[in-house]
Structure 1
Amino acid sequence: MSNLNKLNFTALEVSGRNYLKWVQDVKLHLTAKNLRPTIEDEADNLVGEAEKGTAMIFIRRHTHDALQTKYLVEGDPPALWVALDDRFDHQNDIFLPKVRHDWQYLRFQDFKSVNQYNSKVC
């Protein structure tokens, strides 16, 4: 478990291209550190200021500099989390239909070799 402190993952890009992966990484890390309640906006959620500060530092360290500047006024982890979600969560609506279409019409005969087909499928 001591290696959890050494975990690194890529920062959230300005374009949000890696948002879905980034969200999962942040949630897993905050869960491992018992900081997950800091990003959940619940009325009965009693989280101390130290935990909120730790979560904010972690989230800000793993976002692009331009995003840090844009969301500088967000001082509360749930507010920052919702702001990033509002900005980038539409990707599931954009990419999922295209991926489903590509998967549905992927044909074995479109590839020159079995290896090319396997690399596309995996």
Structure 2
Amino acid sequence: MAHMTKQDFDILDNNGTKYLQWRVDARANLKAKGLEHTILVDGNSTSQEQAKAIVFLRHHLHENLKIEYLFVEDPKELWDNLCQRFESLERIIGPKAQYDWMNIRFQDFTSVSDYDSAMLRITSQLRLCGQATTDAAMIEKTLSTMHADNAVLQELYRERHYNRYCDLIAILRMVKQI
């Protein structure tokens, strides 16, 4: 029986559908292992560090990607090749996330939790594409897209001057339970 080792995070599949998440996870894990410099320009890594990093990265690739990049022994080269191969995903995910951001409305959700999940998914996708969204923007988006019948509540929440989106959501959840 083959030796099975646990993955630290999801394997990058052939079509790269979760490439952006994989990239964040891979970089964080390399950093935790003290190997992040192996994928950076002028990282000055030893051959042993490069070997550890390449083994780690390959361990988190789909079999077909392993075969395609079989002879790549430098983790920086592998990292760059994968970035080039899947960089188009940012051009696809970014506009979709922007569209979702423009069209998300609090009033369209039946629960605060559903809205919060959608909001966090969208902002995470925007952040992965280099378009960070502030708490203030998330708060304003939430309050400005409440149903018109809740105009008084909207103003009450604005007067509370929430600085963190999670604080507003916590209050909204509490109010929904009453």
Question: TM-score normalized by structure 2?
Answer: 0.58
Structure scoring higher RCO (CA < 8 A, sep ≥ 6) equals 1
1:67 maps to a residue whose letter is L
Cα distance change of structure 1 residues 32 and 110 upon mapping to structure 2, 3 Å threshold: closer
Cα distance change of structure 1 residues 58 and 96 upon mapping to structure 2, 3 Å threshold: same
Cα distance change of structure 1 residues 54 and 12 upon mapping to structure 2, 3 Å threshold: same
Q: Distance between the aligned counterparts of 1:46 and 1:86, measured in 2?
A: 22
2:7–2:60 contact (8 Å) kept in structure 1: no
Match of 1:106 in 2: 104
- Offset of 1:109 from its aligned partner? 4.8
- Offset of 1:40 from its aligned partner? 1.2
**Structure 1 segments of 4 or more deviating over 3 A?**
107-111, 114-122
Q: Distance between the aligned counterparts of 1:54 and 1:15, measured in 2?
A: 25
Cα distance change of structure 1 residues 118 and 33 upon mapping to structure 2, 3 Å threshold: closer
- Offset of 1:64 from its aligned partner? 0.4
2:37 maps to a residue whose letter is P
Match of 1:96 in 2: 94
Question: TM-score normalized by structure 1?
Answer: 0.81
Q: Distance between the aligned counterparts of 1:68 and 1:7, measured in 2?
A: 15
Larger Rg belongs to: 2
Where structure 2 has 5 or more consecutive residues not aligned to the other structure, the ranges are 1-5, 121-178
- Offset of 1:119 from its aligned partner? 4.6
The root-mean-square deviation of aligned C-alpha atoms, in Å, is 2.0
Cα distance change of structure 1 residues 27 and 119 upon mapping to structure 2, 3 Å threshold: closer
Q: How many residues align?
A: 114
Identity of aligned residues (%): 37
2:89 maps to a residue whose letter is Q
